[in-house]
Structures are given as structure tokens and as C-alpha cells.
Amino acid sequence: MNENRKRVLLQGLFLLLFAIMFVIPIFFMFAKSISFGWQWPNLSPSGIDIRAWEVAFRDPRIYQSLINTVVIGGAVVIFNFLIATPAAYSLSRYEFKGKTMIESLLILPILVPVLAVAMGLHIPMIRLGLTDNLSGVILIHLLPTLPYAIRVLKAGFDRLNNDWEEQGAVLGARRATVFWTVIIPLMAPSIRSAALLVFVISLSQYVLTAIIGGGRVSTLPMIYYPFFSSADEAVIASFTVMFALLPVLFLILFETVCRSYLKILKKP
Amino acid sequence: MKVENLAISYNGMTVFSDLNVELEKGKIMSLVGPSGCGKTTFLRCISGLTSPTSGTIQLNGCDITKTKPEERPVVLMFQQPLLFPHMTILQNVTYGLKYGKRKLKKKEREEKGLAILEKVDLGSHGERYPHQLSGGQQQRVALARALIVNPDLLLLDEPFSSLDPSLRSSIRLWVKDFLKNEGVTALFVTHDREEAMIIGDEIAVMKDGSFQQTGAPEEVYQNPKSSTVAEMFSEGVHFEESFLPANQLTIRPVSNLKVSDTETIRAVIQYKVYKYGHSFYHLHVPSLKQNVVVSSSQLFNDGDHVDLTYLRSSVQPFHNEQSTIYFTDKARQSR
């Protein structure tokens, strides 16, 4: 067998493996949610049926929880950027005493079980009136997300060295101007991945939302998990598809925001 | 531009101290020195990116030592072109006019931008993005971007070091002509002697954080004032207190013959190169631990032991006093 054929074969093998592990499950999940009477060993379902989606959307809580999920996710992303950007920038650009210690302290929230932290924070948050409402849930979602956001953004700032800021400065632009016109656009890949990561983590929170939200703030996971006790696989599949679609929609929206920012920059 | 007693040190380590330099408007000065001698730090001080520990920097009679980099009429060009990748060439060039001190209207900006792109022979490239340009073109765009804000002083930090050698030799001549046509006052840093001589009206030789010698290229080349300068900038051999230019040396086969008024040193031929229609021998002088290049029409083989003879009168003793008009180096004078 010559080298070329070997390579083609290997590529095919990897493609197959990739399909089995990533593409086919998602496809089947979607197919399952709109099919009717699809039992082993049938290769194809006996009919197409949107019953499962109807069941999912018949639940009156679904709309409110969808809105809650998106609002919480969006707010968590915004607060993450507000807090993580200056933190990551300072950690990347300045030298100061105790920098390494602060850096390690900042990852602690994801090393210590989040449940333990939430239990401890529960009482103070009750006293502050931050339970059973959206703002409390948003606040507590910062706990598992901020460490990641800071790390991702810091890596981004590290990758861009200080030359860009200096180049802007010698051309006569103020520090803040250089930051918004040069650094932020160059940080786009890091900003994008931080946003997605934060949104997905916030989306999948169950325990934190349950404890701090006290059952009053319902999000998608809150109604999704109880459905597992039912045996209706089609409904579970439809929920799962919804779950997977949210980050995709978020990504599209975020991308639009990023692009319009760049467009505005290019205008006079 | 005038720099007085400039000094900088980090954590007690002195990078340089007591630097004194003056540069006339419209002149270009080349700053030559080995890497790590403080020349980049010197440029950063003048551009304001690094604050000096002491000393003053004056530009057109104004003290700018404490001025922020964005407020100084000084632009620094880095080793890398550092073109903003998300902007077109035209947007890059006009960056300083859009966000700098003097904010211009869009139409005015674009007119100026296109005019200067035309001057750097890239008039048709305005809508392209930096990654679509070659290294030499990118460096030209960077030069245009630096000059569009009309700086009183342009600083160039080895701007050609990332280019390949053939491109380098063509662009440096072009840059020299361009800067001269525009009447730009510039300070050019390099570690390449030839580059320094091509671009600079004046040469400043820097080593270990101080200026060893300053003056016209020819003067520094012909009359080095110390063995350090001789080693770094001139061609020839140097003794403890004197210098012998390479063109005063003659290669002869080894002999014990003594001619009056001449001296002889032993050398070994390392290799031979042909350049500009002549053959040049690269020689090693074991007694002085120095290498020298001497032209000769006689034929020798690699590894041959030879005699280098020279007239005793052609040896130049080092003079330690400064004689140039534009430069004063008080650190050396006070010694």
C-alpha cells in the first residue's frame, strides 16, 4: 500500500470516528424528538410526530424558565466581562507583590466543591435578601464562571504583548483609546471563547440555582432534570435539543454584536 | 533634540548613565552597538515608554522628560511592523490622525493617508489587510503610519532586522532617501555597521551603556578613539593605545627580511572571498587575538602563515578628546 492511500484510509477512519462520537448522537437526538414509535430493532421510526415538542412546550413553566435561563446567562456573561477583564488585564500586564498568590486564589472556587461554598453563602445571602430572586442567582452563577473567564482572558492578554499598547501610544492615542480600538479587537478569539464557556456553565447550573433560587427561580435545568424520571425518551430528547440550541443561538447573537462593534470602529 | 545626563537603572542595575547627545533638526543619527548595550532602552526613554531615573530630554527647546508618550511629538518604529491586523492598510496609516492629538475629519484623513501611501509606493494597497502584504511592504506601511502625524523626531529600532538580507539592503537606501526628502529628524538604532553608515549623517557608537564615540561615519571609521570603537566600527587591527587601518596592511610571504620604517605581524589566512572585483583575505592575528580583512592581488592558500607589514607612521594613536560639533559626551570628557 502506498503512502497516499494509507493517508486517505487514515483520514476516513478519523472522519468515521468523529461522526460516531459527535455527529451521529446529535442527529439521533433530534430524530428521536420528532419521531413516533421508534423501537429496537427498527432502523427507522414508524412515523414523524411533534408530540414530544408539544408536551415540552405545553408545560406552562417552560417559557418563563427559558426567559430566566437566557436572562441569567446573558447577565452572568456581562458581569463576567465587567469583572474579569480588568482582573485579567492587571494580572497580565502589571507586576506586584503577591501576584502568584492572588492568581491561585482566583482558581480556588472551581477547586473547592461549589456545593460547599453555596451552602456557606446561603445564610448571608438570605440576610441580604439575595435569595429566591434573579439577582441572587446571577450573583451565585459568577462563582463557577469567573475563574474560567479570568483565566481565558488572561491567556489572551498574555498572548498579545505590550508592543501593541506602546505602538498605539507613540502614535498619539490615549491608553483607553488604544484599549478599545486595538486590544479589544485583537482579543476577539479569547472574548468569544470566554463568553461561550461562561454561558454554557451558567446554563448547566442546577444545584446553585436550586439552593439560591429556592425553587422560585426556575431555569431550563430545573424542569429538565425531573423529566428524566419519566420514561418518555422523545420528550427528554426534545429538551436536550433545546439545551443544545441555546448556546448556538447565543453564539450567533454574540458574533453579531462583535461584528457590529468592529463595524462601528471602522466608521468615522 | 538634546539629551542631558540621561540615566536609567532597574533594581540598582545601571543600564546607562550620563548620556549626552545633541541632534540637529533634519539630521539622521545612527546608533550602533552590540545587543544589550542599552540602545533600545535609550530609544524607549526618548519616546517616553520608559522613564529615565535622572536627566532631561529636550526637543526643540522644550523639556519633554515628563511628558507622556502619547503627548510627545515623537514616534517610535519597532523591530516588527506591528500593523493592526483588523484594520486595512489605509486605516492603519491614518490611525494617528483618527485617535491622536490632532483629530482630523474622515475625508481629510483619507486624503493624507492616500498621499503618504503613494509616497511609499503602496498607493494601490489601501484597501488590503496587513497579512496580504510582504514584510518589506509592511515595514513601509509602518513608516508611513509613523510619519503621517508629522513627528518632530522619528525613532527607528532596528526596523529592518526582521527582513531578509537582500530586501534589507534595498529598503535601507530607500528609507534613507525618503527620510531625507521629507526632512525628518531621526534616530536610527542598529547593530549593523554598514546599515549605520548608509543611513546616518552621524554615528554614535554605544557600548556598556555609554557613548564611546560620536561623529561623521567616515571620521569614526577612519579615526576610532578607543580600542572598543576600533573593534566595533573600524576595520583594521588595534593595539593597546593605537589603531592601524586595514588598508595600510600588506600581506607578504613569511620572511625574516627587515625593511626600515616597517613593522611586521604574523597572521594566518583563514579564508578568501571575492567581492567588488578584488580578493579579500580573512586573517587571524594570533598575537593580538584579532581578525582582520585585507585585500591582496597575490595568491595565498587557506591556512598559510603570512606576514602583515605596515609603515610605522601609519599607526594612529587613540585620541581621547572629543572633537565633533554635534555631540558631546560628558561622561568621557570628565574621565
Q: What is the pLDDT of residues B119-178, one digit of tens each?
A: 888 889 889 999 999 888 998 899 999 989 888 899 999 888 878 888 888 888 888 888
pLDDT in tens, B162-179: 788 888 888 888 888 888
ipTM surpassing 0.85, yes or no? no
Instruction: Give the highest mean pLDDT range of A54-63, A154-163, B290-299.
Output: A154-163
Q: Report d(CA B106, CA B94) in Å as an integer.
A: 9
Is a pLDDT exceeding 80 seen at residue A114? yes
Indicate if the pLDDT at residue B269 is higher than 90.
no
Long-range Cβ contact pairs of B175-178 (< 8 A, separation 24 or more): B175/B143, B175/B199, B176/B28, B178/B119, B178/B120, B178/B143
Q: Measured between beta carbons, which residues in chain B are less than 8 angstroms from residue A172? A: 70-71, 96, 99-102, 149
The residue in chain A having the minimum alpha-carbon distance to the alpha carbon of residue B146 is A171
Q: How confident is the model at residue A1 (pLDDT cuts 50, 70, 90)?
A: low
Among candidate residues B17, B294, B10, B95, the one with its CA nearest the CA of residue A167: B95
Per-residue pLDDT band at B45 (split at 50, 70, 90): confident
Q: How far apart are the C-alpha atoms of A150 and B246, rounded to whole Å? A: 61
* Chain A interface includes B190 (CB < 8 A): no
Partner A contacted by B101 (CB < 8 A) = yes
**Angstrom distance (rounded) from CA A56 to CA B303:** 91
Tens digits of residue pLDDT in B92-126: 999 999 988 778 888 888 899 999 998 888 889 88
**CA of B99: which chain A residue's CA is closest?**
A173
Q: Grid coordinates in use for A36? A: 413516533
- C-alpha span between A73 and A69 (Å, rounded): 6
Beta bridge partners of B284: B268, B291
Contacts of B127 (CB under 8 A, 6+ apart): B88, B89, B90
Instruction: Report d(CA A9, CA A187) in Å as an integer.
Output: 38
* φ, ψ at B109 (rounded to 5°): -60, -50
User: What is the tens place of the pLDDT at every residue in A209-244?
Assistant: 988 988 888 888 888 877 777 767 788 888 888 888
Contact B122, B141 (CB under 8 A): yes
Mean pLDDT score of chain B: 82
pLDDT given at position B334: 40
Rounded-to-10 torsion of CA B143, B145, B147, B151: -120
Does the pLDDT value for residue A89 go beyond 90? yes
Residue B119: the pLDDT is 85
Residues in chain A: 268
Q: Which residues of A touch B71 (CB under 8 A)?
A: 172
Bridge partners for B63 per DSSP: B58
pLDDT tens per residue across span B70-92: 888 899 999 889 999 999 999 99
Q: Please, are residues A221 and A204 in contact by the beta-carbon 8 Å criterion?
A: yes
The residues that bridge with B161 in the sheet, in sequence order, are none
Q: Can you give the pLDDT at residue B332?
A: 42
CB count, 10 Å around CB of A29?
Answer: 17
**CB < 8 Å to A168, chain B:** 95, 99
A197 CA to chain B: closest CA distance, Å?
A: 24
Q: What average pLDDT does this structure show over A13-39?
A: 85
- How close A170 comes to chain B (CA, Å)? 5
B184: its cell numbers? 525628518
How many degrees, rounded to 5, is the angle at CA B42 between CA B6 and CA B50?
A: 85
pLDDT band at B285 (very low <50, low <70, confident <90, very high): confident
Cell of residue B311, nine digits? 609603515
pLDDT at B322 over 50: no
Instruction: Give the residue from B210, B205, B200, B207 showing the smallest Cα distance to B223.
Output: B205
Question: Is there a contact between A171 and B82 if contact means CB atoms under 8 Å apart?
Answer: no
At residue B11, the pLDDT reads 63
Exposed, middle or buried: residue B190 (CB in 10 Å: 0-12, 13-18, 19+)?
Answer: buried
What's the gap between Cα A73 and its chain centre? 8
Q: What is the average pLDDT across A119-129?
A: 90
Asked whether residue B214 carries a pLDDT value surpassing 90, the answer given is: no
d(CA B159, CA B143): 9
Query: What would the mean pLDDT of B188-193 be, rounded to a whole number?
Result: 87
Strand B28-32 to B202-207 pairing: parallel
Question: What CATH code is assigned to A59-266?
Answer: 1.10.3720.10
* pLDDT-derived band at B323, boundaries 50, 70, 90: very low
B73 and B46 Cβ atoms separated by less than 8 Å: no
- Say if CB A130 and CB A143 are below 8 A apart: no
Q: How far is CA A41 from the centre of its chain?
A: 37
- Any idea where the domains of chain A sit in the sequence? 1-49, 59-266
Task: Please compute the mean of the pLDDT values over residues B213-230 and round it to a whole number.
Answer: 81
In chain A, where do the E strands start and end? 35-36, 47-48
* A90 vs B314: which has the higher pLDDT: A90
Residue B35: its pLDDT value, please?
Answer: 78
Residue B326 has pLDDT above 70, yes or no: no
Distance from C-alpha of A139 to C-alpha of A75, rounded to nearest angstrom: 9
Position B145 scores a pLDDT of 93
Element (H, E) at B264: strand B262-275
Instruction: State the alpha helices, DSSP H only, in B94-164.
Output: 95-99, 106-119, 135-147
Predicted confidence at residue A228, as pLDDT, reads 74
Residue A93, Cβ neighbours under 10 Å: how many? Answer: 13
| Set of cell numbers at residue B46 | 526618548
Q: What's the pLDDT at B130?
A: 93
| Alpha carbons B118 and B122: distance in angstroms, whole number | 6
Average pLDDT of chain A, as a whole number: 88
How far is residue B187 CA from its own chain's centroid?
8
Chain A contacts in chain B segment 227-266 (CB below 8 A) = none
pLDDT confidence bin for B12, thresholds 50/70/90? low
Cβ of A172 within 8 Å of Cβ of B99? The answer is yes
Q: In whole angstroms, what separates CA B197 from the centre of its chain?
A: 7
User: Residue B328 has what pLDDT?
Assistant: 39
